Amino acid sequence: MAKFKRTALLALSFCLFWLGVLEAKGPVMLSLDVPPGKWKAVRLKDLPKDAVVAVAVESSGEISVVLLDSPGYGRFPTLERPLLLGQVEKTLSFSVSVPAADSYFLVFDNRSAQQTRALSVAVRAARGGVDQIQAADAILRRFEQELHQLFIFEPFALGIERCGAPKAFTGAKSVDLCAEYVYHLLLDS
Are 50 and 104 in a shared domain? yes
Domain's final residue, options 104, 126, 148: 126
pLDDT of the residue at 7: 45
Whether residue 174 sits in one domain with residue 94: no
Cα-Cα end-to-end distance for the chain: 31
Instruction: Choose one of 98, 126, 154: the last residue of a domain.
Output: 126
CATH number for the domain harbouring residue 87: 2.60.120.680
Q: Are residues 66 and 121 in the same domain?
A: yes
pTM: 0.59
Tens of pLDDT, residues 27-76: 789 999 999 999 999 999 988 888 888 899 999 999 999 999 999 999 99
185: pLDDT confidence band, cut at 50, 70 and 90? low
CA 4 to centroid of chain Cα atoms: 32
* Domain count of the fold of the chain: 2
Determine the Cα–Cα distance for residues 119 and 126; give it in Å rounded to an integer.
Answer: 23
Domain containing residue 136? 2-22+129-188
Asked if residues 43 and 107 have their Cβ atoms less than 8 Å apart, the reply is no
- Give the Cβ contact number of residue 171 at 10 Å: 15
Instruction: Please say if the pLDDT value at position 130 is more than 60.
Output: no
Higher pLDDT residue, 128 or 48?
Answer: 48
- Looking at the structure, tell me whether residues 12 and 104 fall in a common domain: no
Residues 142 and 74 in one domain: no
pLDDT in tens, 70-116: 999 999 999 988 999 999 999 998 888 899 999 999 999 999 999 99
The pLDDT of residue 135: 60
For residues 70 and 91, state if they share a domain: yes
More confident residue, 150 or 80: 80
Could you say which of 109, 126, 143 is where a domain stops?
Answer: 126
30, 69: one domain: yes
